[in-house]
Amino acid sequence: MDLKQIEKINAYEWEINQTAQPWMRVPVRIFSNEAMLKAALQDRSLEQAVNAAALPGLVGRVCVMPDVHQGYGFPIGGVAATEVQTGVISPGGIGYDINCGVRLLSSDLPKQEVVNVIEDFIRLLYQACPSGVGTKGVFRVNEKELKQICEQGSGWALKNGYASRQDIETSEDGGCIAGADWMAVSRRAFERGAEQVGSLGSGNHFIEVDLIEQVFDEQAASAMGLSVGNIAIQLHSGSRGFGHQVCTDFVHQFQSVSTKYHIQLPDRELVCAPLNSGEGRAYLAAMRAAANYAFCNRQVLAFAIRQTFEDCFPGHHLRNVYDLAHNIGKLETHQVEGRELQVCVHRKGATRAFGPGHTDLPQQYKKIGQPVLVPGSMGTSSWVLVGTETGMRKSFGSCSHGAGRVLSRTQAKKEVNGGQLRDELAARGITVQAGSLRGLAEEAPQAYKDVDQVIDCIEGAGLGLRVARLVPLAVIKG
């Protein structure tokens, strides 16, 4: 794939025509500026998007976000929608960390009340929120409780005193996707998930204490409780070993399923099953169970964060702004070429970004659109946006999920010294608590794209509008 094969639509939109390869059923639309597009050509991400355009039942276009980078089968930062009656579902189009997502909590606490105690606060948060590879969670659940978590998501946390009603109302899908089936989940997934409820994990998962540095939309910021000079906290985690096992199980199973249904694919990592088949329904049910597990996992972590915060800063409270998924497959209704269609939207490393007035939004956000959370790296800014009506038409109501990697974890560890990075961040006023220096090096700011450029592209393409810019004061990495 090279730039000559890509048609420029405007400064922020590019297209690979569906005639580029014989298997393509729809074109690929790339939301990017030219510089970031050229960078994306250095890995296989756009080639993967072209391959994904082979999936049966695709409608509209395959969409590629500016934070795109190479993944398993699908690119990370890819969006594709398949028609429910004739289309397929592909685990590779959702990812191994099912419902890896982000939550933002806002406060009325000004920065000056935090800066002198930030190291103590981040140490207490680190103790309250287990992190690291294979780490056990806040508590272990039995089989009955895990079944309830898979079916109820954050509703289980509400019933057990780990959530408020406002937390639930300001979570995507109310923190629970209907249609989960415990029986579709393997025993091994249960074994991995039982110990990890309320755990952060490792890799790019984090808890970050941020300063709200700028506000660009006063009305939207007010609705979200975001005020310049105050503290906010971001949480990024997913379905841990439970979701990973669900994906592993079905990727393995679908190797033969694609052959059974005579589905021809240019890449075996795209293995899939018809949505209306027994195998497709089983994956959808198991994926929803893992998604609900992730919603509950973030809710339990948020409860621990809130308790720690309110113990450290009496009289101040943390309010849930929004909780959203960015590795998920969802049945949604969209306008496609003038027709209203029910489709399965695969979002991998991409987040839902519904525009104003959508029926699925909480009442407080109906006028402004859905909050969209786009974290940067631990040394750079993060952004809060709102979804747009334009994005509903262009990208199935989807947006970027972060900055996007430019260095693999292996490359980052070779090029970055974790101890030196920690000292550099400290010199800039950013406190870091990490499980290992090698893990810290993997997530160095230079391993990621410029998130501000990503936001320029998103806003330039009309997929989202800026609300607020956050900058980090302290970061916890697994």
φ/ψ of 30, rounded to 5, equals: -110, 125
Report the pLDDT value the prediction gives residue 1, as an integer from 0 to 100: 79
Nearest 5°: CA angle at 206, between 386 and 152?
A: 70
Report the pLDDT value the prediction gives residue 140, as an integer from 0 to 100: 84
Q: How confident is the model at residue 250 (pLDDT cuts 50, 70, 90)?
A: very high
Report the pLDDT value the prediction gives residue 138, as an integer from 0 to 100: 81
Does residue 135 register a pLDDT over 90?
Answer: no
Report the pLDDT value the prediction gives residue 251, as an integer from 0 to 100: 96
* 401 flagged as catalytic: yes
Q: How confident is the model at residue 379 (pLDDT cuts 50, 70, 90)?
A: confident
Q: Is residue 328 exposed (0-12), middle (13-18) or buried (19+ Cβ within 10 Å)?
A: buried
Taking residue 14's Cβ as centre, other Cβ atoms within 10 Å add up to: 22
Q: Residue 207: name the closest of 104, 318, 55, 323 by CA.
A: 104
Catalogue all structural domains in the chain, each as residue range(s) with its CATH number. Answer: 3-406+448-477 (3.90.1860.10)
Report the pLDDT value the prediction gives residue 117, as an integer from 0 to 100: 96
Please spell the DSSP secondary structure of 136-179, one letter per residue: --SS---HHHHHHHHHHTHHHHHHTTS--HHHHHTBGGGG--TT
Report the pLDDT value the prediction gives residue 2, as an integer from 0 to 100: 85
Residue 474, strand partner residues:
209, 431
Write the Ramachandran bin of 276: left for phi over 0, alpha for psi from -120 to 50, otherwise beta: alpha
Does residue 372 register a pLDDT over 90?
Answer: yes
Q: How large is the greatest C-alpha to C-alpha distance in the chain, in angstroms?
A: 64
- Helix, strand, or coil here: 477? strand
Report the pLDDT value the prediction gives residue 381, as an integer from 0 to 100: 96
Report the pLDDT value the prediction gives residue 136, as an integer from 0 to 100: 79
Q: Do the beta carbons of residue 271 and residue 257 sit within 8 Å?
A: yes
Active-site entry in 205, 244, 334, 401 = 401
Q: Is residue 274 exposed (0-12), middle (13-18) or buried (19+ Cβ within 10 Å)?
A: buried
Does residue 133 register a pLDDT over 80?
Answer: no
Does residue 134 register a pLDDT over 80?
Answer: no
**Least confident piece of the model among 85-94, 327-336, 384-393, 426-435:** 426-435
Token digits for 134?
């294979």
Model pLDDT for residues 401-428, shown as the tens digit of each residue: 999 999 988 999 999 999 999 999 999 9
Q: How confident is the model at residue 429 (pLDDT cuts 50, 70, 90)?
A: very high
Distance CA 146, CA 178 (A): 16
Does residue 81 register a pLDDT over 80?
Answer: yes
Q: How confident is the model at residue 203 (pLDDT cuts 50, 70, 90)?
A: confident
Residue 475, strand partner residues:
208, 432
Distance CA 390, CA 387 (A): 9
Q: Residue 295: name the closest of 477, 173, 146, 159 by CA.
A: 173
Q: How confident is the model at residue 436 (pLDDT cuts 50, 70, 90)?
A: confident
